[in-house]
Protein backbone atom coordinates (compact mmCIF):
# COMPACT_ATOMS: atom_id res chain seq x y z
CA UNK A 1 0.00 0.00 0.00
CA UNK A 2 2.96 2.35 0.28
CA UNK A 3 3.41 5.41 2.46
CA UNK A 4 0.39 7.56 3.23
CA UNK A 5 0.72 11.14 4.51
CA UNK A 6 -2.27 12.65 6.26
CA UNK A 7 -3.10 15.20 8.91
CA UNK A 8 -6.30 16.67 10.23
CA UNK A 9 -6.36 19.53 7.76
CA UNK A 10 -4.36 21.08 4.96
CA UNK A 11 -5.61 24.64 4.56
CA UNK A 12 -4.38 25.47 1.06
CA UNK A 13 -2.94 24.15 -2.17
CA UNK A 14 0.36 25.81 -1.32
CA UNK A 15 0.59 23.98 2.00
CA UNK A 16 -0.16 20.63 0.36
CA UNK A 17 2.30 21.24 -2.48
CA UNK A 18 4.97 22.16 0.05
CA UNK A 19 4.46 18.82 1.83
CA UNK A 20 4.88 16.94 -1.45
CA UNK A 21 8.07 18.87 -2.27
CA UNK A 22 9.51 18.21 1.21
CA UNK A 23 9.00 14.47 0.79
CA UNK A 24 10.68 14.57 -2.64
CA UNK A 25 13.59 16.64 -1.31
CA UNK A 26 14.14 14.06 1.41
CA UNK A 27 13.87 11.22 -1.13
CA UNK A 28 10.93 9.67 0.75
CA UNK A 29 8.52 7.92 -1.59
CA UNK A 30 5.03 9.26 -0.98
CA UNK A 31 2.30 7.04 -2.42
CA UNK A 32 -0.82 8.74 -1.07
CA UNK A 33 -1.35 12.30 0.13
CA UNK A 34 -4.70 12.44 1.93
CA UNK A 35 -6.78 15.60 1.77
CA UNK A 36 -9.36 15.23 4.52
CA UNK A 37 -13.11 15.79 4.66
CA UNK A 38 -12.68 19.46 5.64
CA UNK A 39 -11.80 20.04 1.99
CA UNK A 40 -15.27 19.10 0.79
CA UNK A 41 -17.73 21.84 -0.09
CA UNK A 42 -20.14 20.19 2.37
CA UNK A 43 -19.89 17.06 4.51
CA UNK A 44 -20.36 13.92 2.41
CA UNK A 45 -19.82 15.73 -0.90
CA UNK A 46 -16.63 14.41 -2.45
CA UNK A 47 -15.96 17.61 -4.43
CA UNK A 48 -13.29 20.11 -3.45
CA UNK A 49 -14.40 23.36 -1.88
CA UNK A 50 -13.12 25.67 -4.60
CA UNK A 51 -12.91 28.60 -2.19
CA UNK A 52 -10.05 26.76 -0.46
CA UNK A 53 -8.76 24.76 -3.45
CA UNK A 54 -9.24 26.97 -6.54
CA UNK A 55 -6.78 25.07 -8.75
CA UNK A 56 -7.31 21.45 -7.72
CA UNK A 57 -6.43 20.03 -11.15
CA UNK A 58 -3.15 21.99 -11.23
CA UNK A 59 -2.37 20.78 -7.70
CA UNK A 60 -2.92 17.16 -8.76
CA UNK A 61 -0.52 17.59 -11.69
CA UNK A 62 2.10 19.20 -9.48
CA UNK A 63 1.92 16.44 -6.87
CA UNK A 64 2.14 13.78 -9.58
CA UNK A 65 5.32 15.25 -11.02
CA UNK A 66 7.16 16.14 -7.79
CA UNK A 67 10.18 13.93 -7.40
CA UNK A 68 10.27 12.61 -10.95
Q: Mean pLDDT for each 10-residue chunk of the chain (68 residues)?
A: 84 87 92 77 73 82 82
Across-strand partners of 40?
48
Measured CA to CA, the distance from residue 24 to residue 52 in angstroms comes to: 24
Query: Residue 23 has what pLDDT?
Result: 92
Q: Please report which residue ranges of the chain form alpha helices under DSSP H.
A: 13-25, 56-65
Query: Residue 22 has what pLDDT?
Result: 93
Amino acid sequence: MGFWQSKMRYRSSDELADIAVQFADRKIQLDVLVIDFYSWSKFGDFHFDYKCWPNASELVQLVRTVGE
